[in-house]
Structure 1
Amino acid sequence: MTGTDTGAGGAAARAQDVWKVYGSGEAEVIALRGVSAEFERARFTAIMGPSGSGKSTLMHCLAGLDSTTRGDVWIGDTKVTGLGDAGLTKLRRDKVGFIFQQFNLLPTLTAAENILLPLNIAGRKPDPTWYDTVIDTVGLRDRLDHRPAQLSGGQQQRVACARALVARPQVIFADEPTGNLDSRSGAEVLGFLRNSVREHHQTIVMVTHDPVAAAYADRVIFLADGQIVSELVEPTAETVLDTLKNLDVLTDVPGAV
């Protein structure tokens, strides 16, 4: 994999003056407008904003799922910007974990087989001690031989969380991970994610629209019209909601790229 920069420092992920533009002419849409942000190691960061604010686009650019129009992105000391397909595949396999709103489990595989699938594809064996730690942390030991259809939604998402964690990635990106769950199951998954940061020093970046979910994070970054307009440290559901209500006041949109 090419492209390193020690300037990324202690950040697990970093964006520097990132612009993302879709289309051209009258159809042009500016999704990100010069976004710069660092995501510290062993921290839980939530990204929030109204629909169309650019929060999912930012996460996709950070994770190498989408390219930037301008600006650079790093995962650790690896410069993501400019990587070819092979480099991006290796990056996502070795350094990045994903948790999505749709659990993305293979229905014919057991929970254990789903958890180990990325490692098997990469030809890697799990660390037995870490595997046991992950399984116990998500509370799935008595469900490992069950297929997804035999699990509740919350259990399926915990399988997806374990799958992301077991490879020990530098950073896990979670896109609305509780969007399809009831409040109790959602709280279980969010509690697990928070514990994985505090107890096992995982780094998590989560996109969410839910102030209650964001309150599990150490820090919340707020986007509006493709810009970072505010930030909260040690958020509560109330402070998150208050900030969301005031985003219109905080927004100052510059000219087009």
Structure 2
Amino acid sequence: MTVTVSTSATRQSVARAVGVTKLHGEGEAQVAALRGVDVEFTAGEFTAIMGPSGSGKSTLMHILAGLDTVTAGEVFIGDIRVSDMSDKQLTLLRRSRIGFIFQQFNLLPSLTAEENILLPLSIAGRKPSKDWFDRVVDTVGLAQRLHHLPAQLSGGQQQRVACARALVSQPEVIFADEPTGNLDSVSGAEVLEFLRDSVRSLGQTIVMVTHDPRAASYADRVIFLTDGRIVDELRDPTADAVIDTMRSLDSRARVA
């Protein structure tokens, strides 16, 4: 069964996939990572993408973010069709409209926390609003750590620097790939609370790939992929509900 994920008519579409298929290889070795996926992400919402290994969840996120190409279908950021853009256009789009948070913090060790936060804006030749910068730093709780190097920060603090770096350019959407994968449970919870608060307090839109039901429970909704298709969705999820859904998908797969 394929599920077309619905969205609220009152919210603006920030990212959208229409009939997206992604194939790897050729002939008998060809593998379908995504099979005709239709999904939409709306402004001011936190969405988690889940599924077993090889389900296509990371591929979907990379395609939405313009980091990978489609075999068929269309991808939009706002009203811009990403699937038609050149590499140069995609680079400019990512700098101006998209934020990224990865499992690896990707901080430059010779730069302070503040310099790492401001780096994408510096590369783009832009300056942040001081009020916005102060608000982001206050939200992530880094005001007393701005002049510290990454080696002087805990793992949770380093990931919060990465979160602030993604937020400071005020992107339309932030894509987060297993953002708590390298953190202990306490630090992971701090980062997830921040991401949730950035949606509620700052109006940010976040799309997060995760394998962790507890992490997914921080989201407003969870979409589930199996074999390259969206097969289920939860709104206002709890960790137990996510676990039950994953078990149900496993049971369906065994029966099939």
Provide the TM-score with structure 2 as the length reference. 0.94
Compare 154-163 and 78-87 and name the one that shifted more.
Answer: 78-87
Q: Which residue type is aligned with residue 226 of structure 1?
A: G
Match of 2:110 among 108, 126, 140: 108
Could you list the per-position Cα deviations for residues 15-39 of structure 1 after superposition, in whole angstroms to 9, with x for gaps in the alignment? Answer: 0000000111122111000000000
Unaligned runs of 5+ in 2: 1-10
**For residues 150 and 217 of structure 2, what CA distance do their matches in structure 1 show?**
29
Could you list the per-position Cα deviations for residues 179-214 of structure 1 after superposition, in whole angstroms to 9, with x for gaps in the alignment? Answer: 000000000000000000001100000000000000
Change (3 A) 1:202 1:250: farther
RMSD: 1.1
Unaligned runs of 5+ in 1: 1-8, 253-257
Q: Which residue type is aligned with residue 214 of structure 1?
A: A
* Percent of residue pairs bearing the same amino acid type: 69
**For residues 248 and 213 of structure 1, what CA distance do their matches in structure 2 show?**
20
In the TM superposition, residue 248 of structure 1 has moved relative to its aligned partner by 3.5
**For residues 172 and 250 of structure 1, what CA distance do their matches in structure 2 show?**
32
> Which residue in 2 is equivalent to 1:38?
40
> Which residue in 2 is equivalent to 1:3?
none
1:229–1:251 contact (8 Å) kept in structure 2: no
**For residues 24 and 108 of structure 2, what CA distance do their matches in structure 1 show?**
32
**For residues 34 and 148 of structure 1, what CA distance do their matches in structure 2 show?**
42
Q: Which residue type is aligned with residue 29 of structure 2?
A: A
> Which residue in 1 is equivalent to 2:8?
none
In the TM superposition, residue 85 of structure 1 has moved relative to its aligned partner by 1.0
Match of 1:163 among 157, 162, 165: 165
Could you list the per-position Cα deviations for residues 109-133 of structure 1 after superposition, in whole angstroms to 9, with x for gaps in the alignment? Answer: 0000000000000000001100000
**Deviation beyond 6 Å, 4+ runs, structure 1:** none
Task: Map 1:55-134 onto structure 2 (within 5 A).
Answer: 55-134=57-136
Task: Map 1:193-204 onto structure 2 (within 5 A).
Answer: 193-204=195-206
In the TM superposition, residue 249 of structure 1 has moved relative to its aligned partner by 4.7
**For residues 46 and 76 of structure 1, what CA distance do their matches in structure 2 show?**
19
Compare 76-85 and 185-194 and name the one that shifted more.
Answer: 76-85
Q: Which residue type is aligned with residue 193 of structure 1?
A: L
> Which residue in 2 is equivalent to 1:237?
239
In the TM superposition, residue 250 of structure 1 has moved relative to its aligned partner by 4.9
Q: Which residue type is aligned with residue 208 of structure 1?
A: T
**For residues 55 and 249 of structure 1, what CA distance do their matches in structure 2 show?**
19
In the TM superposition, residue 86 of structure 1 has moved relative to its aligned partner by 1.1
2:144 aligns to what SS in structure 1?
helix
How many residues matched?
244
1:15 aligns to what SS in structure 2?
strand
1:46–1:221 contact (8 Å) kept in structure 2: yes
Could you list the per-position Cα deviations for residues 88-117 of structure 1 after superposition, in whole angstroms to 9, with x for gaps in the alignment? Answer: 001100000000000000001000000000
